[in-house]
Amino acid sequence: MEQIIEFINQNIQMIYIVILMIFVGVELISHVPAVLHTPLMSGANAIHGVVIIGAILVMLHMDDEYILGLSIGFLAMILGTLNVVGGFVVTDRMLDMFKTKK
Amino acid sequence: MELVTLNFIYLLASISFILGIKMLGSPKTARKGNLIAAFGMILAILVTIFVYPSIHHIEVSKLKYTLIFGAIIIGTIIGWSIALKVAMTKMPELVSFFNGMGGATAGLIGLLEFSHNLGNTSKISMIVAGLVIGSISFSGSMIAWGKLSGKFRKPIRLPKYNLLNTFIAVIIIILSIYIVTAEINNPVYLYILFILALMYGIMFVLPIGGADMPVVISLLNSFTGLAAAFGGFLYENMVMLTGGILVGSAGTILTLAMTKAMNRSLSAVIFGEFGEGSAISGSDNQVSGNIKEISPSDVAILLNYAQKVIIIPGYGLAVAQAQHVIHELEELLTNKGVDVKYAIHPVAGRMPGHMNVLLAEANVDYDKLVDMDDINSEFPNTDVVLVVGANDVVNPAAKNDPNSPIYGMPILDAELAKNIIVNKRSMNPGYAGIQNELFFNEKNSMLFGDAKVVFTKIVQELKSM
C-alpha cells in the first residue's frame, strides 16, 4: 500500500497525462465516420510504433561488451522500425485512394 | 539547453500524434494527418538518438551508432517494401502484422531492462506489465495475421479452452505480482513469464472465429499502445507515454465501436459465445424453401431497365478482386441514366471501412458510398439490389429470429428492394456460419460464380445493349 502511494506521489504528473490522454483519445475517435476506421486503425498502429524510442534508449544505455544484449536490442529496433515505417506507409497508401475527384 | 530541445521536440511530437489522429478522422485531412504524425515520429526518433546521450553524458560508441542506424535502415527497407507490395485486400492482416512487430519490441525491451532496474519496485512493475502486454500482443497478432491470410482459418478450440485460458491468465497475474513484490532477481522467472504471455496470446486468439478478427486486431492494437505507455512510464519518456496512451484509449473506443456495429459484446468475442453450436442450430431450423438462379445476361437486362440500383459489397468482392469491374458496371449504368449507389455496412469486409478502401482503390467516387443508416430508407424504392460477396450483413435473421446468433445486429434492408440479386460462389453459409433466409426470398435470385467472372459478363452484355 505504501509503495502504491509513493508511486502515485512520485509520478503524479505522468498520471495526469495518462488520464487526460485517455479522454483525448476517446474524444478524437468518437467523431470518426466508419469509412475511415481502417485507415485510422492503421494510423494508430503506426503511432504506437513510438515504442521504438524505448528500443533506442535500451541501445544507448547498453554495455558495449554485452553482445547478447546488443543483438536483442538490434532486433527490437528492427521490429520497431518495421512497425513505424510499415504503419505510416500503408496508411498513406490507403488514404491516397481516397483522393476526392470532382 | 539540450534538455529543453529534447522536451520541446517530444512535446511537438506528442501534439503531432494528437493532431494526426484528429485529422485522420476526416476524409479531407486524413492524408495530411498521417504525414504530420509521421513527421513528429521522425523528429522524436532523431532527437532521442542525437540529443538524449549528451544530456545523460553517455558516450555512444561507433559500434552502437552502426547498430542503431543499421537497424533503422533494415527496418525501413523491409517495412516500406512490404507496405507498398501488399494488395489492398490484404490490408487487415498487414495491420495485424505491423502491430505484432510493435508488441515484440515492447516485449524485448522488458527482457533487456529487467536486470538494470532490480530493486526499483515501480520500474520493475512497469517492465513486467510492458513485457506481458507486449508479448501477448505479439503472439496474438501473429495468429490473427495467419488466420486472415488463410493459413489456418477454422477456429481451433482445445477442450475447455476458456478454463485453460483463464488458468494461464491467472498464473501470469500471480507470477507478475510475485516478481514485483518479492523483488526477484533471477531472470529465469521473467523468461517463464515471457513464454507464458506468448502462449496466452496464441491461445487467446486461436479459438476466435474469422468474422471477429477485426475486433481482435483492434483490441491488440490498443494493447500495443498500452505496452508502449508502460515503456513511457519506465523511462519517464513523455512522447512514449502520450503516444501509447492515445493509441490505447483510441483503440479501445474503436474496438467497442466495432463490437457495437456487429451487436456483439467484447466478452462474447473473447469467450466465444458465437460458438459453432449455436450457429449450426440456427442454420437448420428456420431456413428452407426454393432458391432461384439467374444468368448474367438476365441480370444485365434487369439492370438495363432499372432506375435505381444499390450495390452491397462484402468480403467476397475483395477475394474475387472484383472492385474494378464493379466500378466499370457502376459507370456504365450511370451513363445510361441509372442511379447507382453503394451501401456500406459498418463491418462489411474484414474491418470497418475495408470496403471503402477497396472501392476507393478502384476509383469509385467517395460520394457514392453511403453508410447503412443513411441508405436503409432508400431500399423500398430501389429496383435492383446487387449483393456482391456479402452475406451476414443482409441476413434478415438479425431482425426476425431471436435464436439466431446474429440477432440484433443492424443490417442493410436489402429484402425491401423490388429485386434482389445475390452473387456468391456457392450456397455455403457466410463467415458467421449461418444460413441466410434472404436467399429463399421470392424476390431474390442467386447469381452463382466468381464475382469478377460473372460481372465481367454482365458488363459485356450491358455494353451490347
What does the pLDDT look like over A11-27, one tens digit per residue? 888 899 999 999 998 88
Q: Which domain holds residue B69?
A: 1-82
Give the residue-averaged pLDDT of B373-399.
Answer: 88
Does B319 share its domain with B246? no
- DSSP-based three-state secondary structure for B293: strand
Does B195 share its domain with B135? yes
* Residues of chain B contacting A93 with CB distance shorter than 8 Å: 83-84
Residue B281 included in any domain:
no
Residue B281's pLDDT is what? 38
Q: Is A1 on the interface with B (CB under 8 A)?
A: no
Active site positions of B, annotated: 392
Does B300 share its domain with B176? no
> pLDDT tens-digit profile of A55-67?
999 999 988 888 9
Give the residue-averaged pLDDT of B406-428.
Answer: 84
For A77, counting Cβ atoms within 10 Å of its Cβ (0-12 exposed, 13-18 middle, 19+ buried), the class is buried
Amino acid residing at B273:
E
Does B302 share its domain with B386? yes
CB pairs under 8 A between A and B: 368
Does B317 share its domain with B443? yes
Does B173 share its domain with B298? no
Q: State the Cα–Cα distance between residues B369 and B234, nearest whole angstrom.
A: 45
Q: B55, B82, B109 — which closes off a domain?
A: B82
DSSP state of B441: S
3-state SS, B348-377, equals CCCCCCHHHHHHHHCCCCHHHEEEHHHHHH
Q: Check whether B345 has a pLDDT greater than 80.
A: yes
Residue B464 main-chain phi, psi, to 5 deg: -85, 0
Residue B40's pLDDT is what? 96
Alpha carbon distance, N-terminus to C-terminus of chain B:
75
Residue B356's pLDDT is what? 81
pLDDT 10s per residue in chain A (102 long)? Answer: 777 888 888 888 889 999 999 999 888 887 677 677 788 889 999 999 999 999 999 999 988 888 999 999 999 999 999 999 999 999 998 888 766 543
DSSP state of B286: S
Residue B160's pLDDT is what? 74
The shortest CB-CB distance from A35 to any of B27, B237, B258 is to B27
Q: State the Cα–Cα distance between residues B422 and B211, nearest whole angstrom.
A: 20
Does B334 share its domain with B374? yes
Residue B331 has a CB neighbour count (10 Å cut-off) of 15
The shortest CB-CB distance from A83 to any of B28, B101, B366 is to B101
Does B161 share its domain with B76? no
Q: B243, B274, B305 — which closes off a domain?
A: B274
The answer to whether the CB atoms of A72 and B83 lie below 8 A apart is: no
B384-388 and B369-371 as β-strands: parallel, antiparallel, unpaired? unpaired
Give the chain A residue whose CA is nearest to the CA of B218: A41
Give the residue-averaged pLDDT of B354-379.
Answer: 85
Sheet holding B308-313, edge to edge: B369-371, B339-344, B308-313, B384-388, B419-424, B444-448
Q: Is the dihedral of CA B70, B75, B76, B77 positive or negative?
A: positive
Q: State the Cα–Cα distance between residues A84 and A73, nearest whole angstrom.
A: 16
> pLDDT tens-digit profile of B34-82?
999 999 999 999 999 999 998 988 888 899 999 999 999 999 999 999 9
Q: State the Cα–Cα distance between residues A26 and B223, nearest whole angstrom.
A: 15
Does B214 share its domain with B192? yes
The answer to whether the CB atoms of B246 and A25 lie below 8 A apart is: yes
The answer to whether the CB atoms of A17 and B95 lie below 8 A apart is: no
> pLDDT tens-digit profile of B96-114?
999 999 999 999 999 999 9
Q: Is A16 on the interface with B (CB under 8 A)?
A: no
- The total of structural domains in chain B comes to 3
Query: B310, B385 in Cβ contact below 8 A?
Result: yes
> pLDDT tens-digit profile of B435-447?
788 888 888 888 8
B444-448 and B339-344 as β-strands: parallel, antiparallel, unpaired? unpaired
Containing B329, the helix (H) or strand (E) segment is helix B323-335
Residue A57's pLDDT is what? 94
Grid-cell match 506481458, residue found: B132
Query: B279, B433 in Cβ contact below 8 A?
Result: yes
The shortest CB-CB distance from B357 to any of A21, A56, A97 is to A97
Q: How confident is the model at residue B176 (pLDDT cuts 50, 70, 90)?
A: very high
The C-alpha cell of A60 is what?
A: 544507448
Grid-cell match 453450436, residue found: B277
Residue B86's pLDDT is what? 85
Q: Which of B137, B249, B258, B373 to mutate to test the interface with A (most CBs of A within 10 A)?
A: B249
Does B241 share its domain with B389? no
Residue B192 included in any domain:
yes
Residue B455 main-chain phi, psi, to 5 deg: -75, -30
Residue A64's pLDDT is what? 87
Q: Is A68 on the interface with B (CB under 8 A)?
A: no
Q: State the Cα–Cα distance between residues B260 and B265, nearest whole angstrom.
A: 7
Does B337 share its domain with B296? yes
Mean pLDDT rounded to a whole number for chain B = 86
- Which residues in B65-98 are b (16+ Cβ under 10 Å) and which e? eebbeebbeebbebbbebbeebebbbbbbbbbbb
Query: B43, B9 in Cβ contact below 8 A?
Result: yes
Does B415 share its domain with B318? yes
Residue B278's pLDDT is what? 38
Q: How confident is the model at residue B150 (pLDDT cuts 50, 70, 90)?
A: confident
Residue A102's pLDDT is what? 37
Residue B185 included in any domain:
yes
Q: Which residue has the higher pLDDT, B414 or B319?
A: B414
> pLDDT tens-digit profile of B292-333?
889 998 899 989 899 999 999 988 888 788 888 999 999 999
User: What ipTM was reported for this prediction?
Assistant: 0.92
pLDDT cut 70: percent of chain B above it: 91
Please state the domain extents for chain A: 1-31, 35-96
Cα B169 to its chain centre, rounded Å, is 24
E strands, B215-324, are: 308-313
